[in-house]
Structure 1
């Protein structure tokens, strides 16, 4: 579980990722607007399932989200409906609990496989064409290996960026379920990262994995042969970095008054604050804009206002 996976490339990628996350947080891009959140969620579901052979397009998934009927294979529709349900409930799952992993799998694979949500007890091999690509550990070993993996996740001092990649690789190596392991591994890495970095909840990392699908499988195989997860960690960190760069490139949007007010509400909670406090959080707006924002929120009955001029204070209701 503790291979010598720290390389110069990994250290460089972690430094770049940390820098990008800092930029995203400074620009208040960690929680995109509602429309973009929906779009990114659809891209995530479509990409993760397409990797597993699902044929539905982003437009068809959008239609399903809006409770519209579509013409497509019943299995593909069910896979998407299950994925929508899991991603909608993402925050209820604790990434450090095996029971939550099993619960998520039972929703993701509902009516698609027997024993959804239960670890396999039989032996399996992953076949590509006529070749056995990966012989997973025996069914009798699965429970013990998964306990070890979750102990690593909960107790190891590795950075969460590293742990999420190690977990993803080891999960695919163990192959704990009869089916659905690929989509579960990608889902769980997102969930692990979300605990420290909220931006990952709506970051469509899976769409970049889909674009580099062959390399994704190659790095899993390379790590298997090397007996350590280093090649896969390097690959996944580079994918994470690219996805963060995309956020910064594509989000040259100006936050609306409502966006700013509710972002600040998340940060300040029910504490009293001044216009100066509000301005310190949004350094790219002027004092008159801040005043207009706060007046709008007070007029909309979102804020309570007390005092006058320099002594004016605000508090969210």
Structure 2
């Protein structure tokens, strides 16, 4: 098998720019819409949304690689690092490390790329790791760097990266390309093309013993943020994880040659989907503010507690809607009181009601540009 890095024209990656152009226009339009909508959120709510978006990205980029993290510990670490309060709970190394990566990406997106920056990211991603030899440096082992599936007797090689001895040279060229193609570089590329190319180019080199996927996705988000002049906050890993097989299939299909139009179209469409997901969440927060502005003074303590719990469920809300039993569990109210409270919430327009008798369910009555908001 001949891999892309073994081609005569490597690392020159070719593509049909016309196929990406309409997607680039959509990306820039939606980016403007996001920036405008984000500014309408109260500063305290904006901090909460930022923590939620970044923690979801950290969780999902780890989950793509089969690593399950603790959300509460991760969010505590993010709040600490953003100066939003000191949480004294013990935070495990993995959660602390990926949080450090996401904060560094958020705050330092404009910084040029360097070996040292990548090594620092690798130490963050590998925090608490004991299985690999080299952390905070490029791989140096003599064994082939292969992505393999199947049984020991019948392995399937999905990809083989350049040998370790070539990595310093490959990464010197990659870093130079990344910095040169930034919006203020000598050869700027459009946002989606640069972000997609950065990912497939980096993954093809696979410079570290482990953590390449997480760092590669961070590089894609860095490229997008540099093009916008601010952190993108898009749900890229969140979107990729929802169809992880498609992601790996496209990576595999794109590592055998240097023509990458199909990969760039796939990646651009994924970014646009990620933007939509983020916008739904921004709209949800705006709708939440409108909800409390409209009804906040009319809610009793039990109702306020239940409504706050429903909002904490986020866009998806309670699966199937809030039941009377849910309300009783949240508020510790009697069934008669719960029935009266829920009836009042419907009367004042706080909740909508569906179903009858034991199938009765309640949903947040909010105005947001998403059918998903509070409706599941």
TM over 0.5: yes
Aligned match of 1:118 in 116, 137, 142?
137
1:50 to 49, 58, 63: 63
Runs (4 or more) in structure 1 with deviation over 3 Å come to: 26-32, 57-70, 198-201
Once the two structures are TM-superposed, the CA of residue 80 in structure 1 deviates from its matched residue by 2.1
| Paired residues for 1:90-101 under 5 Å | 90=105, 91-92=107-108, 94-101=111-118
- How many Å separate the matches in 1 of 2:210 and 2:30? 35
Native 8 Å contact 2:235 2:277 kept in 1:
no
Aligned mates of 1:12, 1:35 — CA distance in 2: 33
- CA distance in structure 2 between the partners assigned to 1:102 and 1:6 by the alignment: 33
| Number of aligned residues | 250
| Structure 2 residue runs without a partner (length 5+) | 1-10, 79-86, 181-186, 290-376
Cα gap change, 1:154 to 1:172, in 2 (>3 Å) = same
Within the candidate set 158, 166, 176, 1:133 is matched to 158
SS at match of 1:154: helix
Report the TM-score, using the length of structure 2 for normalisation.
0.60
1:2 deviates by 3.3
Alignment match, 2:99: 84
3-state SS in 1 of match to 2:189: coil
CA displacement 1:70-117 (0-9 Å, x = unmatched):
9xxxxxx43222101222233246342222112221222134133212
For residues 13 and 54 of structure 2, what CA distance do their matches in structure 1 show? 33
TM-score after normalising by structure 1: 0.71
Q: Is the 8 Å Cα contact of residues 37 and 282 (structure 2) preserved in structure 1?
A: no
Give distance in 2, aligned partners of 1:197 and 1:188: 14
Q: CA deviation at 1:199?
A: 5.8
Q: CA deviation at 1:24?
A: 1.9
- Structure 1 55/27 Cα, relative in aligned 2: closer, same or farther at 3 Å? closer
- 2:270 matched to which residue of 1? 239
Distance between the aligned counterparts of 1:149 and 1:54, measured in 2?
Answer: 27
Q: Check whether the contact 1:95–1:192 (CA below 8 A) recurs between aligned residues.
A: no
Aligned counterpart, 2:205: 174
Distance 1:203 1:190 in 2: 8
Do the aligned partners of 2:235 and 2:275 also contact (CA within 8 Å) in 1? Answer: no
In structure 2, how many angstroms separate the alpha carbons of the residues matched to 1:127 and 1:117? Answer: 24
Checking the alignment, whether the CA contact within 8 Å between 2:138 and 2:209 is kept in structure 1 is yes
Segments of structure 1 that go 5 or more residues without pairing to the other structure are 71-76, 257-317
On the 8 A contact 2:197/2:264 being kept in 1, the answer is yes
Deviations 1:219-272 (A, max 9, x none): 11111123333222222211111121223333231798xxxxxxxxxxxxxxxx
The aligned runs of 1:139-158 (5 Å cut-off) are: 139-155=164-180, 156-158=187-189
Which one of the candidate residues 13, 18, 39 is aligned to 1:3? 13
| Cα distance, 1:6 vs structure 2 | 2.4
Contact 1:63 1:69 in 2 (8 A): no
1:13-54 deviation per Cα after TM superposition (whole angstroms, max 9, x unaligned): 111111111222333459970111111111011100011111
1:26 aligns with 2:33: no
Q: 2:242 aligns with which of 207, 211, 220?
A: 211
Q: Report how far residue 204 of structure 1 moved.
A: 2.3
Distance 2:253 2:89 in 1: 43
**Residues 24 and 211 (structure 1 numbering): CA distance in 2 closer, same or farther, change over 3 Å?**
same
What root-mean-square deviation, in Å, do the aligned CA atoms of Structure 1 and Structure 2 show? 2.6
CA–CA distance in 2 between the matches of 1:166 and 1:30? 33
Q: How far apart in 2 are the matches of 1:116 and 1:237? A: 32
In structure 2, the CA distance between the partners of 1:198 and 1:39, relative to structure 1 (3 Å rule), is: farther
Change (3 A) 1:95 1:185: farther
Contact 1:165 1:189 in 2 (8 A): yes
The structure-2 alpha-carbon separation of the partners of 1:3 and 1:88, relative to structure 1 and needing over 3 Å to count, comes to closer
Provide the C-alpha distance between the structure 2 equivalents of 1:178 and 1:92, rounded to a whole number of angstroms. Answer: 25
